[in-house]
Structure 1
Amino acid sequence: MTGVIILFIIHWYGSLFFQTFFHHRYASHAMFTMSRTWEKIFHVLAWIFQGTSYLSPYAYGVMHRMHHKHADTENDPHSPIFDKNVWNMMWKTRIYYKEVGTGEKEIEQKYIKGVPAWREWDKFAEHNIVRLAWIFVYIGLYWLVDAPIWAYFVFIPMHSLMSPLHGAIINWFSHKYGYRNYEVKDTSTNLMPVDWLMWGECLHNNHHKFGGRPNFAVKKFEFDPMFPCIRLMEKLNIIQYKKGKLDTDYM
């Protein structure tokens, strides 16, 4: 059973790491820059860690920009205000995401500009056969750690839906529960001040107030664990801050 827990923790935090660092803070908000080579490396790493639930950085980035522009309005891709439960909201999000990715939904150029796009890779990574293959990988890993039979039915579905699960926690619960440092025009909240669960994403109210700020923690009692990682990658020259964009700068 210990092996199962370790596998789940690695997948949870590994998958979410790339979602918040690459998809959210880079693709959506352009909080820093990186070379085209590193961009492609992070595409591949995101696929490895997200697996079955791989998200296109392009579709995610465009959709998230729409979310910030139209938060909690009828044009928001995912707002708990207009859906009676989290399942309805996530199904609506799935449809919106698919339409952005396929080009069915007409998007203004300002939401697309600068969003990283490696569409050939996305088509491969999101192919149904590739997604199915990852499920067999998860089953194989559970077999290797001699997981109990019930774990296959409980944890494998969670591995397969990891990215939507992360999205549901933030887009539903971080608009309904928690505390608010700022009275913004939407319902965003901070679920917890020290975000050990979601790599800083739970500091959602702070983020909606300062959309371009790399550090989601604002108050002295708050901590965003992704920010030290960003600073480290900046020191290693993997990423570069835009001129003037430091941890205290706001967009």
Structure 2
Amino acid sequence: MKILIFFIAHWYLSLFFQTFFLHRYAAHQMFTMNKFWERTFYVLTWISQGSSFLSPYTYGVMHRLHHAYADTEKDPHSPQYSDNLFDMMWKTKNIYNDILTGKANIDPKFTKNVPNWKFMEWLGDRWISRIAWGTLYTLFYIHFATHWWMFLLLPIHYLMGPVHGAIINWFAHKFGYVNFKVNDTAKNLLPLDFLMFGESYHNNHHKFGGRANFGIKWHEFDPAYPFILLFNAVHIIKLKPNNDLNYM
């Protein structure tokens, strides 16, 4: 039971900070926050993603490229230009590393206002940080696992951030339903998103790239949106005016 609780907690905490901070804030600037809260969410993202920490700066830039070039050769992660899921993940990793290390030639319009706390970017990407988090996950399993098969979950812990990205970037461009006609293959993967915290409403998001609420139809509940409304109400963030009409 403790292993299951730990896995679920890690899954959803990592996913929340990816969708809230990396995606909706870093990439799309759906809301603003002051420097204190930005750095607070940097640290919380590092804690929640642990060994699979994704640079908010690199994620933000790469996701903007995805929207600008969706399903073309310039898309950082399009199933249309990959032989399989792992091929796409490998290509994405290489593009991610090129952006992270400054090797990629990026048009300044894709980097405008993307958060970049260099210390946390550096710390989160250090192998000693990744190995330390992975070691903690492993020790937890050694202490609490009651069956051998539970250890099969450990690789997901190690790669939690990329796993979440791969689910949407691959499956939500191949399977699901469409609410809106868009110039790419983005689909809504789940009619009720209990798994991906609103991220699976991918067709909706590609249609309304700056809309903080990813749900559109009555059954499309976006679990991240109430947190955004709460944070806005207590002045942790400030939603942009006419948010539903903002586009990337």
- When normalised by structure 2's length, the TM-score is 0.97
Query: What is the match of residue 46 of structure 1?
Result: 45
Aligned 8 A contact 1:3 1:147 in 2: no
Distance 1:151 1:221, change over 3 A: closer
Residue 223 of structure 2 is matched in structure 1 by 225
Q: Aligned ranges for residues 63-78 of structure 1 at < 5 Å?
A: 63-78=62-77
Q: Which residue of 2 aligns with 1:162?
A: 160
How many residue pairs are counted as aligned between the two chains?
247
Instruction: Answer yes or no: is 1:138 the counterpart of 2:119.
Output: no
AA aligned to 2:154 is I
Q: What are the equivalent positions in structure 2 for 1:19-168 lying under 5 Å apart?
A: 19-152=18-151, 154-168=152-166
Q: What is the identity, as a one-letter code, of the residue corresponding to 1:162?
A: M
Instruction: Using the TM superposition, name which of 132-141 and 74-83 deviates more.
Output: 132-141
The answer to whether structure 1 residue 187 and structure 2 residue 205 are counterparts is no
After the TM superposition, list the runs of 4 or more consecutive aligned residues in structure 1 that deviate by more than 6 angstroms: none
- Shift of residue 250, structure 1, vs aligned partner: 3.9
Deviations 1:162-201 (A, max 9, x none): 1111011000000000000111000000011221100100
**Identity across aligned pairs (percent)?**
52
Number of the residue aligned with 1:249: 245
Hey, what does 2:3 align to over in structure 1?
4
Counterpart code for 1:19: Q
Q: Which amino acid aligns with 2:57?
A: Y
In the TM superposition, what whole-angstrom CA distance separates every residue of 1:76-113 from its partner, at most 9, and x where no partner exists? 00000001100000000000001001000010100000
Matched residue, 1:211: 209
Instruction: Mark the runs of 5 or more structure 2 residues left unpaired by the alignment.
Output: none
Distance in 2 (CA, whole Å) between partners of 1:83 and 1:249 is 33
Whole-Å separation in 1 of the counterparts to 2:43 and 2:177: 36
- Match of residue 202, structure 1, among 185, 200, 203: 200
Question: What is the Cα deviation at residue 47 of structure 1?
Answer: 0.5
For the Cα contact (< 8 Å) 1:206–1:216, is it kept in 2?
A: yes
User: Which runs of no fewer than 5 residues in structure 1 stay unpaired?
Assistant: none
Q: Residues 67 and 40 (structure 1 numbering): CA distance in 2 closer, same or farther, change over 3 Å?
A: same
SS at match of 1:55: coil
Cα contact 1:212–1:250 (8 A) shared by 2: yes
The residue type equivalent to 1:27 in the other structure is: A
* Secondary structure of 1:185 counterpart: coil
Match of 1:240 in 2: 238
Q: Which residue of 2 aligns with 1:172?
A: 170
For structure 1, which segment, 203-212 or 125-134, has the greater mean C-alpha deviation from structure 2 after superposition?
125-134
- Per the TM alignment, residue 148 of structure 1 is displaced from its structure 2 partner at its CA by 2.6
Amino acid aligned to 2:239: Y
Q: Is the 8 A contact 1:14 1:49 kept in 2?
A: yes
Q: Deviations over 1:33-72 (max 9, x none)?
A: 0010100010100010100000000000000000000000
Displacement, 1:146?
Answer: 3.8
